[in-house]
Amino acid sequence: MKKLSILGSTGSIGTNTLDVVERFPDKFKITALAAGRKIELLAEQAKRHKVPLVSVAEEEDARKLSDILGPTVEVYYGMEGLKTVAAASGADMLVSALVGAVGLVPTLEALKKGMDVAVANKETLVVAGALVRKMADDNGCNLLPIDSEHSAIFQVLEGRDPGSVKRLILTASGGPFRGRSAAEVAEVTPAQALAHPNWSMGPKISIDSATMMNKGLEVIEAYWLFDLGPDKIDVAIHPQSIVHSMVEFVDGSMIAQLGVPDMRGPISYALAYPERLPMEALSLDIWSLGGLTFEKPDMETFPCLGLAYQALGSGGTAPAILSAANEIAVEKFLTSLITFADIPRLVDDALNKIETTPLTDLSTALEADTAARGFARDWPVTARNR
């Protein structure tokens, strides 16, 4: 039986992970859970899975949760709580499903312990991919992707010669604004941007999908997962979200992974790897698909994708700056402090005005993250209103 700890248990990935676990109680056991501020849902999860260790973001919520769960459950909070859940719960595998750079430090702690990590927190690899990759390799750990696109590529590449790969093609739904012009999306509302046509996701990832920053972050993630240069990682708009990604080989052959748009598919593959679990509910009815279409991304309407390629090409701390500035930009947009069109403007300004340095260690990555967050919080004063 594989023991799992989950960072981000109350989010979309976390709840779907627990759904998979509940379908296979003879294969998985939950040892610890961490979440943000949804303490009622976390308490229900902890009770249902008889979890002895949980963590939340804030001390006040930790006290409330302790009252709910009683003395038999250890309750932690903050970064120390995340690190404890990640690396001190006796788990065999960490499911890293937090949103944002907050997932980096606890994920590194798990890798130090020699744990495999199922990665849904793409910012961990964006902010410090070189450090995460080295820690995993040095400790003999598997990094198993949960993002549907990276899971697809991982499945296609399994057992194949890396030298035979010509390029990776990450698919993207195009989000709620596919086909619109830059002028048409400039003033869209948060409610409109949150309405993803195919996937049920949290607010931050939904906005990232609408700006296509999510796909840009996935390009950087793919770079660290599969060791291919930016010039060998392409993006194709595929509105049906059935082909999750493709690999083109040097002989011109192309192999794709298909499936219904349901995160339980890639989650189950990561949890049980190298085994496959029988997920009958996810069977794809190919006779009802109709057409599958592919388009080139509109880089003018969605400049965030180009900014991600730019940051990856710059290297060093540039991806950390990109990720942090984008996190704050999304927060500002969701609270109507900036417009949709301001998101890429803010990120572009951060990349141009914050010095990029070599990524030598964890403190370098965290310092870049902090600098970019500060810049982004002050941005309306220093940039937009200049």
Same domain, 132 and 172: no
Same domain, 159 and 239: yes
Same domain, 182 and 240: yes
State the total domains in the chain. 2
Q: Is position 71 within any domain?
A: yes
β-strand 93-96 against 116-119: which pairing, if any? parallel
Predicted TM-score (pTM) of the model is 0.93
Residue 386 has pLDDT above 50, yes or no: no
pLDDT at 385 (0 to 100): 46
Q: Is position 137 within any domain?
A: yes
CATH number at residue 173: 1.10.1740.10
**Last residue within a domain, chosen from 115, 146, 177:** 146
Is the bond preceding residue 176 a cis peptide, omega within 30 degrees? no
Query: For residue 186, what pLDDT band results from cuts at 50, 70 and 90?
Result: confident
Q: Which of 81-95, 196-210, 342-356 has the lowest mean pLDDT?
A: 196-210
Q: Is position 254 within any domain?
A: yes
What is the rounded average pLDDT of the residues 143-152? 96
Cβ neighbours, 10 Å, residue 31? 19
Same domain, 97 and 223: no
The boundaries of the domain holding residue 47 are 2-146
Same domain, 242 and 168: yes
Strand ranges across the sheet with 243-249: 233-237, 165-172, 243-249, 254-258
pLDDT at 195 (0 to 100): 82
Residue count of the chain, please give it. Answer: 386
Q: How far apart are CA 309 and CA 319, in angstroms?
A: 9
Q: How far apart are CA 120 and CA 95, in angstroms?
A: 7
Which tens digit of pLDDT belongs to each residue from 104-129? Answer: 999 999 999 999 999 999 999 999 99
Q: Is position 271 within any domain?
A: no
Query: For residue 290, what pLDDT band results from cuts at 50, 70 and 90?
Result: confident
Q: Provide the β-strand partners of residue 29.
A: 3
Same domain, 38 and 124: yes
Query: For residue 203, what pLDDT band results from cuts at 50, 70 and 90?
Result: confident
**Last residue within a domain, chosen from 146, 163, 190:** 146
Same domain, 158 and 197: yes
Q: Which of 48-52, 78-82, 257-261, 288-292 has the lowest mean pLDDT?
A: 288-292
Which tens digit of pLDDT belongs to each residue from 209-222? Answer: 999 999 999 999 99
170, 215 Cβ separation under 8 angstroms = yes
Q: Is position 270 within any domain?
A: no
pLDDT at 199 (0 to 100): 60
- Block residue for tokens 């030598």: 360
Reduce the secondary structure of the chain to three states and give it as a string.
Answer: CEEEEEECCCCHHHHHHHHHHHHCCCCEEEEEEECCCCHHHHHHHHHHCCCCEEEECCHHHHHHHHHHHCCCCEEEEHHHHHHHHHHCCCCCEEEECCCCHHHHHHHHHHHHCCCEEEECCHHHHHHHHHHHHHHHHHCCCCEEECCHHHHHHHHHHCCCCHHHEEEEEEEECCHHHCCCCHHHHCCCCHHHHHCCCCCCCCHHHHHHHHHCHHHHHHHHHHHHHHCCCHHHEEEEECCCCCEEEEEEECCCCEEEEECCCCCHHHHHHHHHCCCCCCCHHHCCCHHHCCCCCCECCCCCCCHHHHHHHHHHHHCCCHHHHHHHHHHHHHHHHHCCCCCCCHHHHHHHHHHHHCCCCCCCCHHHHHHHHHHHHHHHHHHHHHHHCC
Same domain, 124 and 160: no
Q: Which of 241-250, 263-272, 280-289 has the lowest mean pLDDT?
A: 280-289
CATH number at residue 44: 3.40.50.720
Same domain, 308 and 340: yes
Same domain, 128 and 167: no
Q: Provide the β-strand partners of residue 258.
A: 243
Strand ranges across the sheet with 116-119: 74-77, 53-56, 28-34, 2-7, 93-96, 116-119, 143-145
Same domain, 157 and 34: no
Q: Is position 140 within any domain?
A: yes
Mean of per-residue pLDDT scores for the chain: 94
Q: What angle do CA 149, 150, 156 make, to 5 degrees?
A: 95
Query: For residue 71, what pLDDT band results from cuts at 50, 70 and 90?
Result: very high
Contacts of 299 (CB under 8 A, 6+ apart): 305, 306
Q: How far apart are CA 331 and CA 352, in angstroms?
A: 21
Q: Is position 273 within any domain?
A: no
Higher confidence at residue 385 or residue 14?
14
Same domain, 254 and 345: yes
The torsion angle over the Cα atoms of residues 303, 305, 311 and 312, rounded to 10 degrees, is -160
pLDDT at 15 (0 to 100): 96
**Last residue within a domain, chosen from 117, 146, 175:** 146
Q: Is position 276 within any domain?
A: no
What is the rounded average pLDDT of the residues 165-169? 97
